[in-house]
Amino acid sequence: MAETPPCRIFGRSTGAAAGSSCRGRPRFHDGGVPVLIPTLSRWCAAGLGFALLPAVWAGAPADTEVSAAWQLMASSLARDAYTRLDRIKDAPTREQEFAQAVVVIDYQPVTPDRLHEAEAVLARLAQGDDEIADAAAYMQARLYQVHYQQPDPVRAAALYRALADRHPASHWARLGLVKLGLLLLYTLPEPAAPAERIAAATALLPRIKEEKLQRDLHLQIAHAGTFYEQPLDTVLPHLIEVDRIGGLVGQAPEDLAIELGELSLRAGHYAQARAYFEAYLRDFTPNQRSVTVRRRLEDLAALEAKAKGARP
């Protein structure tokens, strides 16, 4: 089953890209080690793109070579990033080892041997007690979730849980809980019943102390609820939280306004539906879907009139 089945409203698909949990912004602080701010910006597209510090000149110190390698990775130039890291002749730092392992994962052609070599490095780095250790543990879990030819969701889930238990305040641990939520919703053999899957993912939310990551899991829980055809009143609170937290990019805010309006209407919450439909027309540039929204407002007015007329 797909990792993130889409929710279709008005013929438009809204899925993981709408509020993907791969947009966390991890920070590396390791004493005197320079700070890197990589963004796992394209996790959901199966790549390992990163947006880091600007590229710098050739022949620079080792830490600058790592920065340049991350920048090349952000441009999907894994082979060039590998070459850049290979220039470093000194004993590698933990940060350099982590960068090399990540580059290997994205180095084409991807082979099982390379992935296993990368995992061995990540597993060793994960034994440390710094942010690189947490990042390495997260990446190791991702290997089992999406990168190996034969994914092992049970192993991935165990690694995410172990990281969250070991360092609950780590951004990477919290990001891992979002990924664990996806496994619970769609992939793990247990729990099997849709309502139990959703309950298990929902139980993770209090452990994710970053609102943007909470938003991402709320979004996935809501879409799982529609996918599994759960009662709308169990879906809508999650979407309302997504809207409250905000921060979605691209077309997603427009999709969310329509989704909230349509599902509220279907659930019989007419005032709430009207508020979201009117917000869509007020806040977003007119487009083809604006016509559909206006028609839904007309339908809503008729339903409200009928409900009013039916009252004693």
Q: Is residue 2 part of a domain?
A: no
Please compute the mean of the pLDDT values over residues 15-31 and round it to a whole number. 34
Same domain? For 214 and 245 the reply is no
Is residue 1 in a domain?
Answer: no
Number of domains in the chain: 2
pLDDT tens digit sequence for 57-74: 233 344 677 888 778 777
Q: Which of 177, 210, 230 is the endpoint of a domain?
A: 230
Q: What's the pLDDT at 307?
A: 86
Q: Please tell me the pTM assigned to this model.
A: 0.78
Average pLDDT over every residue of 249-257 = 84
Mean pLDDT of all residues belonging to the chain: 80
Q: pLDDT of 92-117, one tens digit each?
A: 889 889 988 998 888 888 899 999 99
Residues 112 and 162 in one domain: yes
Look at residues 187, 131, 140, 146 and name the one whose alpha carbon lies nearest to residue 160: 140
Are residues 185 and 216 both part of a single domain? Answer: yes
- Asked if residues 152 and 144 have their Cβ atoms less than 8 Å apart, the reply is yes
Q: Are residues 195 and 84 in the same domain?
A: yes
Backbone angles phi, psi at 252, to 5 degrees: -55, -45
Query: Percentage of the chain with pLDDT > 90?
Result: 61
Residue 21 lies in a domain: yes
Domain annotation covers residue 73: yes
Extended beta strands in the chain, E state: 7-9, 12-14, 28-30, 33-36
Check whether residue 164 and residue 310 sit in a common domain: no
**What range does the domain containing 207 cover?**
7-230
Return the CATH number at 164.
1.25.40
Q: Which of 192, 207, 230 is the last residue of a domain?
A: 230
Same domain, 130 and 212: yes
pLDDT at position 186, please? 97
* Residues 281 and 148 both lie in one domain: no
Q: In this structure, are 40 and 160 located in the same domain?
A: yes
Residue 82 lies in a domain: yes
Check whether 14 has a pLDDT greater than 70: no
